Structures are given as C-alpha cells and as structure tokens.
Amino acid sequence: MLQMCNLESYPPVFRHPSASPPQLTTANSMEDSSSSSSVPIPVVDLQRLSQETLGEACKEWGVFRLVNHGIPASLLSKLEEHVRVLFSLSFESKQALVSNPLSYFWGTPVLTPSGDALRGALNLNWLEGINVPLSQLPLFQSEDSRLEDFRHFLEEYGRHLSRIATTLFEAMVKNLNLCPKQSESSLDKSSGFIRLYRYPPRSVVDEACGMMEHTDSSLLSIVHQDQVGGLEIFKDNKWLLVNPISDTLLVHIGDMMQAISDDQYRSVKHRVSVNKQEERVSICYFVFPAKGSVVRSSKYKPFTYTEFQQQVQNDTKTLGYKVGLQRFRLNAPV
C-alpha cells in the first residue's frame, strides 16, 4: 500500500535536518553573490515562436520560460501528485519498488552506468531522485494500479516533451543556420529521459546544497518545478533566483547545444538551494544527440556523446566534479 509522507521516506542521512552534511567541493570556485529576489528571465511562446526572442534567450541567458507549451494543466497536476506519493514511500520501499528500467538514487544528480548514486562525501547533495528512461518505460510493470497510472502519465508527459524539444531544436537549427547534414542526428528522441527530484527541507540551509553548481550534459533540458522554488542560475558573475511561475516550463541549454552552436548558445550554470521548512519537487526532461553521431564544431575536437558521457563519469569518479566541455575544447591543456 502507498503511504503518506513521513520521516522514514527520506534516506537515513537526511532524517536529521540539523546535522551538518559533508563539505561540498566544486571545480571552479566562484564569488558567491546570491540574490534573494527572482530574476525576470526571457519568455518564449511556443505557439507564436519568435526566432529573434528564442535566439537572444539562448545566447544571452541559456535559459528561458516556455509558455503556451500545450501540456494540459491537469496532466502536470496529476503527475506532480503521483511523484509526491511515490517519494512519500519509505526509503526501503522505494529501493525495492523502483525497479528496472527505472532507478532510484540519492545524494547526487550524477548516475553511474548501473544507475546507482555516487555517494562519496564530495558528491553529496540534499536530494533523492528517480531516473526514467522514456524509451524503456513500457517495460516497467507493477501490481499496484496507482503505479501503473503513474507510468501512463509519464508516457503521456514524455510525448509532449519530445514534441516540444523537437520544435525548439528545429527553430534553433534554423536560427544558427546549421546545415541539415550537421544537425540531422543531433537530437535523438529515443534518448529522452525524465528525472524526478525531491529535495528534503533543512533547517540549516547555509550548510547544505540541494544540487551543487553544474551545467547539463544534454542538448536541451526542460524543467517543471513546484511552487517552493530554489533554482538559481549564474549570470554576470552572480547567482540569480528563478522563482516558479504556474503553467510555465523552464528550458535550459545544455553542453551539447553549446558545442553544436560553436559557443553561440550558452549552457547555463545552475544549482538548487534547499528550503528550511518545505520539501521541493521537480520533474526534469533531458534529450541528447544520437550516441554514435559526431558533434563537430570549430571550437571543439570532434566527439560523440558517448565519449563525452564517459569522460564526465570518469571525472566525477576521480575528481568529484564534472569538467565537461573544457575537456574537448581545441588547444585545451590535457
């Protein structure tokens, strides 16, 4: 039976919110001038798609709000409700219930090939999550009818996100004047997956990070966040809060899009802060180039996404953080 949320639903290390977590270490320390007021990031209307507005948002911000996206509000509401119910199960139940092809993790947004979390002290983030590869979702079966309903909601949501990502990417390709040959395998709809995140509340928020600063490895990332907030982006040498707005999605430019665009578009650096009293839930979609397709750019050595992914995993294991595109930049130190 599915149960209401309780303390046992959190991973053991998160059940004492006043305890100090391990110290976080990141690749490049930045001056932390976090802002408490929300920043008005660009807005893109999917039904009246403006090439100029889209291009400016991708170049200057690397992130934008998407309105008129065509996803029914009822679907978003039902999906978020099911996410909360699933996360409210006991920690042990989630580990047993979330089975192949889904995977449960906690403490870090980075997954190893086996789907387990890297739980080293340098990687600990104040979150737990479920990884959902959309192409394999039909393989997930459960005797609980509510989990079956959840699977259907995820499949429907995934179809909407695939449509949105394809529409946006085609507009970006046109904006960048990329030749069809160069871009035809750059977005592989079968690579799309969803990550469900829950960030437990924490009374000592200055000593914890919901998710440490990073850029997404994806081509595009599309985020639905609840009304608690906590997402911050790094722009003009300071951290800016991006508050949630109902019925909008957040679209992030990822590393692959930055490389394909010859650095015209920005892979936005972002992080998540924790809330003192409320837990936060977000539903994130990521889409990538075809694994065997070669990313070609005047700024980077030719590479496949598979090579990029392997390098990120190696750096995360050995260094404790992601280096990312810098590893593939022309004339970059080895």
Residue-wise pLDDT for 50-105, tens only, equals: 999 999 999 999 999 999 999 999 999 999 999 999 999 999 988 888 888 899 99
Residue range 13-28: mean pLDDT, rounded: 52
Question: What is the separation of C-alpha 36 from the centre of its chain, rounded to a whole number of angstroms?
Answer: 22
Round to the nearest angstrom and report the end-to-end CA distance of the chain. Answer: 53
| Separation between Cα atoms, residue 187 and residue 178, nearest integer Å | 13
- The domain covering 7-310 belongs, at the CATH homologous superfamily level, to B-lactam Antibiotic, Isopenicillin N Synthase; Chain (2.60.120.330)
Is residue 196 a contact partner of residue 130, using CB atoms and an 8 Å limit?
A: yes
* Per-residue pLDDT, 331: 78
d(CA 10, CA 127): 9
More confident residue, 292 or 217: 217
**Amino acid residing at 312:** V
pLDDT band at 122 (very low <50, low <70, confident <90, very high): very low
Q: Please give the pLDDT value at position 205.
A: 56
- Whether the per-residue pLDDT at 160 is higher than 60: the answer is yes
Q: For residue 203, what pLDDT band results from cuts at 50, 70 and 90?
A: confident
Q: Is pLDDT at 232 greater than 80 in this prediction?
A: yes
Active site (annotated) includes residue 296: no
Q: Where are the alpha helices (DSSP H) in the chain?
A: 51-60, 73-87, 91-97, 145-176, 180-183, 255-260, 305-319
> Where is pLDDT greater, at 166 or 181?
166
Residues above pLDDT 90, as percent of the chain:
58
Rounded distance, CA 54 to CA 62, Å? 10
Ramachandran assignment for 320, one of left (phi > 0), alpha (psi -120 to 50 degrees), beta (any other): left
The per-residue pLDDT for 112 is: 37
Of 216, 25, 30, which is closest to residue 124 (Cα–Cα)? 25
Active-site position among 195, 198, 280, 327? 280
Q: How high is the pLDDT of residue 190?
A: 93
pLDDT at 35: 45
Query: Measured between alpha carbons, how far is 110 from 65 in angstroms, rounded to an integer?
Result: 25
Tens of pLDDT, residue by residue over 300-332, are 999 999 999 999 989 988 887 889 999 999 976
| Mean pLDDT of all residues in 223-245 | 93
Q: Which strands make up the sheet holding 211-214, listed edge to edge?
A: 211-214, 270-272, 231-235, 238-241
Cα distances (Å, whole numbers) of residue 84 to 69, 282, 290: 23, 10, 32
Calculate helix-pair angle for 145-176, 73-87, nearest 10 degrees: 120
pLDDT at 181: 61
pLDDT class of 38 with cuts at 50, 70, 90? confident
pLDDT digits (tens, 9 = 90+) for 259-299: 999 999 999 999 998 888 899 999 999 999 988 889 988 99
Please answer whether residues 106 and 117 qualify as being in contact, where contact means their C-beta atoms are separated by less than 8 angstroms.
yes
What is the spatial distance between Cα 245 and Cα 41, in angstroms, rounded to a whole number?
11
Q: What's the rounded Cα separation, in Å, for the pair 184 and 195?
A: 26
CA distance 161 to 43: 18
CA–CA separation, 155 vs 231, rounded Å?
Answer: 26
Would the pLDDT of 14 be above 90? Answer: no
**Mean pLDDT (the chain, rounded):** 84
